[in-house]
Amino acid sequence: MYEIRIHSRGGQGGVTAARLLAMAALHDGNYATACPFYGAERRGAPVVSFVRIDDRPIRIYSQIRSPDMIIVLDKSVMLTVDVVHGLKTGGRILINSTHKKEFAGYITNNVDLTGIALRENLVVAGSPILNTPVIGALAKTGIISADSAKSAIRGMFADERNIRAAEAAYAEAGA
């Protein structure tokens, strides 16, 4: 089972990104669950979402304590939360950032998801929406296929800017 924890802020699309990732995994023929964790937060408050992907049915629907991968959609969350806590040795980290940040012992990718969202004008209430760009970046890692990522995005959003954002993030992301 491959487990992913997504750190974001309310309104950025982290919860929707988890749903899209699970949908893409289903398109690839896997089993998947997506589970958000938040209280009565409002836009801008820290939010954590969890995704499990496996080739067998998943019977766990809870928080993930020891993920294989961490995704950080807003790097300011790292100022108050130890985002790598529990990350498995050799795990992956994907950070929305224009500046390279490395974590010793982990495979780290930095992609400017915010810049991509802004270029495609994926903005709601003044905030860039990062859910579709991050799905494109995840496809580059091989967790999901690019075709399944696009199918999941098209299943949720009719606006082709979302596909262009995913393709741009795929192009920018390292393998």
Q: Is the pLDDT score of 13 beyond 70?
A: yes
Whole-number Å distance between alpha carbons of 11 and 13: 6
**Residue of 126, 116, 24, 95 whose CA lies nearest to 16:** 24
Q: What is the CATH number of the domain that holds 56?
A: 3.40.920.10
pLDDT in tens, 55-111: 999 998 889 999 999 999 999 999 988 999 999 999 999 999 998 888 989 999 999
Provide the residue range defining the domain that includes 77.
2-172
How many structural domains is the chain composed of? 1
Instruction: Flag whether pLDDT at 17 surpasses 90.
Output: yes
Mean residue pLDDT across the chain: 93
